[in-house]
Amino acid sequence: MCGCVLAANILVQFPFTPFGLEEFLTWGAFTYPVTFLVNDLANRRLGLGRTRMVVYTGFALAVLLSALLATPRIAFASGTAFLASQLLDATVFDRLRRRAWWMPPLASGFISAALDTVVFFSLAFAATGLPWQSWALCDYGVKLGMILVFLGPYRMLIDRMPAWQGPTARA
């Protein structure tokens, strides 16, 4: 999870230039959504309490490394957005865990990706003169697309791992 966040923090500083999309996307849009898959798999396997520990550990490591390798503003925005969105993702997933297999990762991903996008882009790029609003909108679109794509790998992986049956599980 930490590696995905660190890569996204570095790559978000580079506009996505293929096909003339530099006004709409950064390279970071393609790496960060993996964190939602990791979070959902951890939640399914470990339960909410342990998943929160994974999030806190990932947060601490990502902020430390981002402070060294990204700009301070990017590091602050990323840490704030990561912590808020991943904790929200874990909570929503946990509340929906008794639903159809696809509902928890889909709903938690869509909701937490929206929070992550708004918090990150407003803190990282507001008042910079960069086209951050269009970056944010397109970034959210990429996140939604990747969350949908990751449903396949999620389904294959959950068939191979037992679900958490501890006190935070509702199923």
Q: Give the per-residue pLDDT at 123.
A: 96
DSSP string of the chain, one letter each residue: -HHHHHHHHHHTTSB--GGG-TTT-BGGGGTTTHHHHHHHHHHHHH-HHHHHHHHHHHHHHHHHHHHHHS-HHHHHHHHHHHHHHHHHHHHHHHHHTTS-TTHHHHHHHHHHHHHHHHHHHHHHHTTSSS-HHHHHHHHHHHHHHHHHHTHHHHHHHHTTSPPP-STT---
pLDDT of 17-33, one tens digit each?
999 888 888 888 888 88
pLDDT of 93-116, one tens digit each?
999 999 999 999 999 999 999 999
pLDDT of 31-49, one tens digit each?
888 888 888 999 998 899 9
